[in-house]
Amino acid sequence: MKYVIDLTKNNFDKIDFTEAKIIDFYCQHKLPSSLEFKVWGATLLLEPRWKHAESFDSSLPRAEDMYVAGMGVVKIDRLIGGNIEVYAYDNVKEDNLIKVAKNYDGSELVFRREWPINKTVDTDEYLWESVISWPYGFCNLRLLSDHGKVSFEFDSNDMVPVGNFILNPERYGFNANKLR
């Protein structure tokens, strides 16, 4: 079953995208007025301890947070600006950790794009701090909207308890082979 969760304004805190991977983000020279991109994995904050838990669809579980171990789509409209920074990962692992790639002078290899705005008052800011698949690295994606709608659509068959994801991230996390 497909779910669409409204993430507009304060609802953005209903989902944690920290463990997500941005899969299909086309970084355009000029920011369009609306945008959608694919994300693998997001944590639905459903536990009763979250103040917003009762505002979720009643057919979603309430006892624990759920991880969406599959593809979802983020949609946002009325965009007016923002920026993206990607800290490119190196293909070398050290102590089982992925390292940020370095330039010849030792500085971090960072790709940046900014979409400047004229309006700075009364805008809605949305921030994703996640891994991005291309260019592969850690991504800060900040989008500004002029009271536009933001949503996250996913398939309920992809939901697993967060505890399952934490214990077995290789099984539930993103793997390009899962898309084939």
- The tens digit of pLDDT for each residue in 101-127 reads 888 998 999 999 999 987 667 899 999
Instruction: Work out whether strand 124-132 and strand 21-24 pair parallel, antiparallel, or are unpaired.
Output: parallel
In this prediction, residue 62 carries a pLDDT of: 73
Provide the CA 154 distance to its chain's centre, in angstroms. Answer: 13
Q: Is the pTM of this model over 0.85?
A: yes
The two tokens of residue 50 are 């979250």
What local confidence, expressed as pLDDT, does residue 2 receive? 93
Residues 72, 171, 135, 83: what is their CA dihedral angle, to the nearest 10 degrees? Answer: 40
Task: Label the pairing between strands 150-155 and 2-6.
Answer: antiparallel
By CB atoms closer than 10 A (0-12, 13-18, 19+), residue 128 is buried
Structure-derived torsion over alpha carbons of residues 46, 69, 167, 93, reported in degrees to the nearest 10: -130
pLDDT at position 142 over 80: yes
Return the C-alpha torsion angle 144, 126, 72, 68, nearest 10.
Answer: 180
Distance between CA atoms of 130 and 146, rounded to whole angstroms? 23
Q: How far apart are CA 141 and CA 26, in angstroms?
A: 12
